[in-house]
Each structure stands twice: as C-alpha cells, then as structure tokens.
C-alpha cells in the first residue's frame, strides 16, 4: 500500500457539543425537582442576610451536620454545596480565580478551591496588597455574598483535603474564628467479620464519633451562649428520617425498566437531603418526587425515550454539566439509573436513625460516606446496586481533583466486569471545574462501552 499526499481540504470538525445540541432531547426530567430548586435558592438568599438578622453563622464541609446546627439556631453554610451551586450556575470562575490568586493550586479539590475563593472574596474591604490577589474580583459577584463565619466545624470522612479544608479557611480568615474538628475514621473493612453495616469495627467506631458529636454540641453551646435544644434535634431527625424513607422508596421504584426517573433527578435532589432545613417542606418535597415517579409508572412514562441501556454512574457529579450529561446519555438511549454519589450517600440508611438517640444514627451515617469505606465494602455495595437496578454498564467519572472518589475506580471496574460481566468506561471531568472535561472523550468512551454491551447481548442471544 503506497502513501501519497492528496490536496488538503481541511474540514471543520463537528464537535460533539454541536451534534448533541442538534439532536432531539430524549431526556424527560422530573418536574417535581423544580420545587427543590426554589427551596435551595431561597435557602441561600436567606443565608446571605444572616448577619443582618443577628444570627450566628457556621461554615462546615463534608458530612451533614446541619440538623445539629438547625437545633442550635445557627445559620449554616456547607462549602461544597455552595461551590456546587456556583458551578451549576456557571458562576464558579471568579471564586476559583480568587482562590488560585490567593495561592491555592489548580489541582486542589475544585470544591475547596471555589469555597476558599469565596472565603477570600467574602472579606470585603481587604486590599489587593493585603490578600495578594492581582486584580481583585468584583465583590458584588455571588461568591462574595456569603456571610463571614462565626466559627468553623470540620467533620469530613474519607478525604484528606476535606479534613484540612476548614483549617485552610480558618487561616484565610486570619485564625480569628474558632474551629472544631470531628474525627471520622475510615471504615476499613479489613476484619474477618467486616462488611457493610456489620462487624466489630462497625459496632465500635460510631460510638467514638457519637462522643465527639456530644463535644461538638458543648462547643456550640459555648459559642452561642445558649443551651442546646435536644428536642429540636430529635424533631429535625424525624423529618430527615421520613424524607430519607420517601427518597429511598422513590429510588426503588426506578428499578423498573424503563425507568421513570434517572440518576440526574437524584442529583437534582441532593441539595434538599444534604443540607436543607429539616422540616415538613423537606418531607413534602420527597413525597412529591415519589408521587410523580409513581404516576409515571402507572402511566408508563419513561425518563429516557427508548431506554436501551441501564447505566450506573460512579463519581461525584460534574456540576457544570448536569443538564448536558442528562441530555448526552439520553441521546444514546442510556438511562443512568443509579450511582455511588446519589444512592450510597445522604441519610441512605434511615433505619439507623433512633429519635431517642439521634447522635448515634448521625454518627453512623457520617461514617458510611461513600468514600469512607475500604474496598471490600465498596465492591459489595457496587454489586448490590448493579443487581438491584439491572445495570448494563458503568460510567466512571474520573473526577480530576477528587482522589478520594477516584482512587478505587479501576478496581471497581474490574470487579463489575469479572463478577457480573458489566462493561464500563472512564471519562475525565471534575466537580466544579469544567476545564477538565472534554465532550469527545466522554462520547468515545460511552459509545465504545455501548458497542461492547451490544456485542455481549448479541452473543448471549446467538
């Protein structure tokens, strides 16, 4: 075969971005989650005025400590949640620039980078000379609206950055505000009797955390000069428990094929279950989601037009791309039905919550964060979800700045392949930094995986 150089006529390569926008939208998101969007927007607007209302403000990250804060009459700001919100609104740029200009590198967790940037921007009146930022970003940007904290609480499971994040923020604020650290040990799962929610390690570790939560409440009492309202905590956990039960019941309905709702709907429902106030509105939200899903089942309305493939999503959400990925996967007849981030997080074991002893159930949930397990338990959970939801393939979001989530992914991929014959692919991206994502990479990997699934199905039928 000879080689020759033809006359060149370069073409403009159609990007997957253009093609996806040209393609009909085959996704059918739940309408009930829009209520959550308004709840979340109202929640943040409320936070922005906390100081004017004379409220104490706590900044925290990681685990859902908000029922405690709520019972103590605090206003709470969850750093990751605010970063995710900025990313979802495509407003993360100024905060990330501020964080990077302050000195935090681009490889740092983009949640942390964004939130630390918010911390920098929140300090109104600080000059360029004082904070080191070249070209101080407009202080009227959303990122600068966060009220300064009165104190910090850190309770981060499974992620070393998370465990240092609040300490970094503490330094950004010149160490002027107190900080309380809760230590959440990894659930290693190494012992013979170990497994998900079982074994001696599981019996002992939550007790250690429960004791720390008691100390945290003493700390809050000291800071606020108010006696903690234990009845309010039990009441909050009642609402959390009920909302969680409804959420899980609704998720279980999505084992049906074609599925009436997808992973993307559960992503849209993370904020309410993760950090919104525990109240009847929260319960109503998940009742509404469940009702809509039941209605769809009864009326044979699917979340993806012409569902052919059921996919599990492993990785933290790429918040800049929620709508985009919803549409992208549906374009290929893929229903993303479950994921580690949505299904193995956020009060996912409500039976553990004892209203007479709320701190223990909370401690247990903080420890079953999906990045806080040893591999054996992660494999057990993955296989369980794959069986429950009839998974054909797995999309691994190789979350560039979240090592805690990505570290075990290749092993999990191999486990799914060897134990269940489930195909997978990887794509790069990030939680709050769109620069790490490339449409072409996602599409190539996704389509190659679907082709492999087709092969698998064809061979099974031959």
Partner 1 sequence: MSWYVMGVDLGSTTAKVAIVDDQGAMVGSKIVQMGAVSQEAVRVAMEAALMDARIHQSDIVRTISTGYGRKLVPTDKTFTEITCHARGAAALFPGVRLVIDIGGQDSKAIAVDQDGLVDRFAMNDRCASGTGRFFDVLSRALEVPVTDVGALALEGSDGLEVSSMCATFAETEVISLLAQGAEKDDIAASVHKAVAARTVGLVAQVGKASPVVMTGGVAKNKALVHFLSEALRLPIEMLDEPQIAGAYGAAIIAREEYLGNMASGVADVTTERELGAALSAVAVPHCAECATGHLDGHTHGRAISVTIGKRPMADLPGPVA
Binding site for partner 1 (CB under 8 A): 1, 3-11, 13-14, 19, 249, 252-253, 255-258, 297, 306-308, 310, 333, 379-380, 383-384, 387-390, 392, 398, 410, 413-415, 417-421, 423-426, 428, 436, 438, 441, 444-445, 447-448, 450-462
The answer to whether 228 and 220 have CB atoms below 8 angstroms apart is: yes
Nearest Cα neighbor of 206 from 389, 21, 368 is 368
List, in sequence order, every residue forming a beta bridge with 154; answer none if it has no partner. Answer: 61, 181
Query: How many angstroms separate the CA atoms of 283 and 306, rounded?
Result: 32
Buried residues in 371-387 as b, exposed as e (16+ CB within 10 A): bbbbeebbbbbbbebbe
Rank residues 237 and 248 by Cβ distance to partner 1 and give the closer one.
248
Rank residues 155 and 293 by Cβ distance to partner 1 and give the closer one.
293
> Residue 145 burial (CB < 10 Å; 0-12/13-18/19+)?
middle
Least CB distance from residue 376 to partner 1, whole Å? 9
Phi-psi region of 306 (alpha: psi -120 to 50; beta: other; left: phi over 0): left
Query: How many angstroms separate the CA atoms of 222 and 211, rounded?
Result: 17
Rank residues 269 and 415 by Cβ distance to partner 1 and give the closer one.
415
Least CB distance from residue 271 to partner 1, whole Å? 25
Rank residues 28 and 223 by Cβ distance to partner 1 and give the closer one.
28
Least CB distance from residue 423 to partner 1, whole Å? 8
Rank residues 183 and 455 by Cβ distance to partner 1 and give the closer one.
455
Least CB distance from residue 28 to partner 1, whole Å? 16
Nearest Cα neighbor of 399 from 430, 422, 364 is 430
Least CB distance from residue 169 to partner 1, whole Å? 30
Rank residues 147 and 429 by Cβ distance to partner 1 and give the closer one.
429
Least CB distance from residue 354 to partner 1, whole Å? 24
Query: How many angstroms separate the CA atoms of 161 and 419, rounded?
Result: 33
Token couple for 221:
């009492």
Least CB distance from residue 262 to partner 1, whole Å? 15
The answer to whether 75 and 57 have CB atoms below 8 angstroms apart is: yes
162 membership: H or E segment, kind and range = helix 160-172
Nearest Cα neighbor of 239 from 272, 282, 290, 288 is 282
Rank residues 2 and 130 by Cβ distance to partner 1 and give the closer one.
2
Asked whether the bond before 144 is cis by omega within 30 degrees of 0, the reply is no
Give the number of C-alpha atoms closer than 13 A to the C-alpha of residue 95, restricted to the C-beta side: 31
CA angle 275, 339, 308 (to 5 degrees): 135
Least CB distance from residue 258 to partner 1, whole Å? 7
Token couple for 439:
């449409």
Least CB distance from residue 104 to partner 1, whole Å? 21
The answer to whether 64 and 233 have CB atoms below 8 angstroms apart is: no
Question: How distant, in Å, are the alpha carbons of 44, 77, 111, 137, 150 from that of 141?
Answer: 14, 17, 17, 8, 22
């Amino acid at each position: 075969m000879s080689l020759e150089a033809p006359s060149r006529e370069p073409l403009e390569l159609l990007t997957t971005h253009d093609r996806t926008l040209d393609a009909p939208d085959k996704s059918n998101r739940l309408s009930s989650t829009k209520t959550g969007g308004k709840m979340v927007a109202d929640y943040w607007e409320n936070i922005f005025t906390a100081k004017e209302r004379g409220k104490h403000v706590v900044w925290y990250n990681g685990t859902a400590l908000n029922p405690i804060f709520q019972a103590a009459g605090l206003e709470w700001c969850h750093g990751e949640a605010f970063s995710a919100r900025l990313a979802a609104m495509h407003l993360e740029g100024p905060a990330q620039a501020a964080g990077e200009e302050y000195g935090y590198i681009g490889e740092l967790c983009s949640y942390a980078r964004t939130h630390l940037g918010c911390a920098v921007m929140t300090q109104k009146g600080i000059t360029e000379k004082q904070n080191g930022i070249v070209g101080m970003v407009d202080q009227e940007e959303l990122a600068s609206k966060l009220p300064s904290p009165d104190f910090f609480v850190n309770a981060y499971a499974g992620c070393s950055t998370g465990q240092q994040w609040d300490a970094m923020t503490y330094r950004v604020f010149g160490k002027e505000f107190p900080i309380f650290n809760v230590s959440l040990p990894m659930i290693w799962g190494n012992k013979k009797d170990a497994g998900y929610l079982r074994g001696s390690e599981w019996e002992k570790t939550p007790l250690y955390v429960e004791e720390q939560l008691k100390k945290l409440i003493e700390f809050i009492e000291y800071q606020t000069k108010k006696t903690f309202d234990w009845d309010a905590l039990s009441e909050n956990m009642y609402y959390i428990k009920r909302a969680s039960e409804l959420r899980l019941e609704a998720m279980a309905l999505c084992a049906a094929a074609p599925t009436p709702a997808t992973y993307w709907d559960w992503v849209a429902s993370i904020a309410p279950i993760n950090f919104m106030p525990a109240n009847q509105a929260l319960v109503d939200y998940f009742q509404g989601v469940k009702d809509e899903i039941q209605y769809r089942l009864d009326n044979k309305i699917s979340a993806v037009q012409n569902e052919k493939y059921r996919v599990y999503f492993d990785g933290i959400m790429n918040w800049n791309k929620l709508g985009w990925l919803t549409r992208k996967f549906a374009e290929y007849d893929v229903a993303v039905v479950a994921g580690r981030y949505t299904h193995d997080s956020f009060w996912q074991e409500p039976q553990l919550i004892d209203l007479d002893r709320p701190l223990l159930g909370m401690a247990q949930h903080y420890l079953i964060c999906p990045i806080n397990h040893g591999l054996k338990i992660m494999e057990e959970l993955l296989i369980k979800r794959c069986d429950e939801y009839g998974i054909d393939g797995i999309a691994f979001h190789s979350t560039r700045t979240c090592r805690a989530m990505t570290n075990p992914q290749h092993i999990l991929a191999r486990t799914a392949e060897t134990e269940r014959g489930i195909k997978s692919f990887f794509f790069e991206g990030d939680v709050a930094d769109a620069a790490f994502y490339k449409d072409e990479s996602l599409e190539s990997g996704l389509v190659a995986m679907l082709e492999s699934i087709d092969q698998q199905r064809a061979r099974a039928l031959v």
